[in-house]
């Protein structure tokens, strides 16, 4: 991994962690992207770190997934 790849991984990690804190649903969908790049791999790692910390604290995810069970996003028909 080059220095630039490491920097992109770290940047992605921080973004994944912060987005998971503030908008866990969007973070989850972004983390599921099937893209192999240092930034996205870092994003996944940051998202997973936040998820693990929440699980250890016994907080879990407290959001509803509108796409689960074929439901639609709010405000769409």
Burial class (CB in 10 A: 0-12, 13-18, 19+), 45: middle
Number of domains in the chain: 1
Residue 66 has pLDDT above 90, yes or no: no
Is residue 20 situated within a structural domain? yes
Q: Which domain holds residue 25?
A: 3-59
Please work out, in degrees rounded to the nearest 5, the angle formed at the alpha carbon of residue 55 by the alpha carbons of 22 and 8. 50
pLDDT tens digits, one per residue of 2-56: 999 999 999 999 999 999 999 999 999 999 989 999 999 999 999 999 999 988 8
pTM of this structure: 0.74
Is residue 22 situated within a structural domain? yes
The token pair that represents 45 in the structure block: 């790692």
Is residue 77 situated within a structural domain? no
Is residue 21 situated within a structural domain? yes
């Amino acid at each position: 991994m080059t220095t630039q790849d490491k920097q992109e991984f770290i940047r992605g990690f921080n973004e994944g962690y912060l987005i998971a804190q503030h908008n866990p649903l969007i973070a989850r969908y972004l983390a599921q992207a099937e893209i192999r790049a240092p930034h996205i791999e870092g994003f996944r790692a940051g998202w997973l770190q936040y998820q693990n910390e929440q699980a250890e604290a016994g907080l879990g995810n407290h959001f509803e997934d509108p796409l689960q069970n074929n439901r639609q996003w709010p405000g769409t028909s």
